[in-house]
Amino acid sequence: MRLGGQEFGALPTAGVRVAIAAAFLLPLLLWRGQGRELMRHWQKIFFVGLFNSALPFACFSYALLSISTGLSAILNATVPLFGALAAWVWLKDRPSASRITGLVIGFVGVALLAWDKASFTPDAAGQSSGWAVLACLLACLSYGISASFTKRHLAGLPSLVTATGSQIGAALCLALPTLWLWPARAPGASAWLALLALGVLCTGVAYILYFRLIENIGPARALTVTFVLPVFAVVYGVIFLHETVSLWMLLCGLVIVCGTALSANLVRLVR
């Protein structure tokens, strides 16, 4: 997203990403003979596409124009926190005292990280890290809502159907903004290759696995995949983008991960 966003811009990056994912998944769906399942549930699946792809992809693409990949990935680790809240409010999945403690710890970590990194003063390029942090958190809330909606309304649907339909829905949502904001200067080959990998691997293939996890182990535990994102994103950012990682970022990230582990019920406090 960082490599693509620098040349495409935020919304075109998200739009091209979901268009590539949809183009990759649709032939697989038709080959499996699951087109009727998609048509039968298209409205609910397209809703998932809006909240699980279009909105969060656009938010993260915007955020990465002004903050590092490591910081965005640490913020992305809060997805299980929002997922637990959404499940509590929507699915009446009342968390235990241990999980509530985890929610509090996790959001304290987010507040500490945002307090240190967020600034609403525009930089030389007119970007603001404060709005970028808020965009990341909005994306995480959107993921949490989508996971609970998928579990409640699309249970039993093949993961390929949900993955394909959600990307088609997201592509339709972002089509006009993508065309309207298409860069005047043609993006280079490296930007196109970045979005190709992003669309096929990080979206198409990944979402087949992700929706299968939601179906098999529930939204709260499926969202815990975000625990490993900061590790890879920080390492990749340092190696390939020459980003710097502060001790404060790592400490806040540790607090967030501990809180999310409690909120997702992966660990429990000893009475």
Query: Mind listing the pLDDT tens digit for each residue in 202-236?
Result: 999 998 988 888 778 776 677 767 767 777 888 88
Q: Mean of the pLDDT values across residues 54-59?
A: 97
In a domain, 151, yes or no: yes
Q: What is the mean pLDDT of residues 39-61?
A: 95
Q: How many domains does the chain have?
A: 1
48 domain-assigned: yes
Asked whether residue 271 is assigned to any structural domain, the reply reads no
Reported as a pLDDT band with limits 50, 70 and 90, residue 46 is very high
Position 12 confidence tier, pLDDT thresholds 50, 70, 90: very high
Q: Which position has the higher pLDDT, 68 or 12?
A: 12
The pLDDT score that the predictor gives to residue 269 is 56
- Whether 59 is covered by a domain: the verdict is yes
User: What's the one-letter identity of residue 243?
Assistant: E
User: Is pLDDT at 135 greater than 60 in this prediction?
Assistant: yes
Specify if 171 maps to a domain.
yes
Segment 164-205, tens digit of pLDDT: 999 999 999 999 999 999 999 999 999 999 999 999 999 999
Number of Cβ within 10 Å of residue 158's Cβ equals 18
Q: Which domain holds residue 191?
A: 2-263
Q: What is the pTM of this model?
A: 0.85
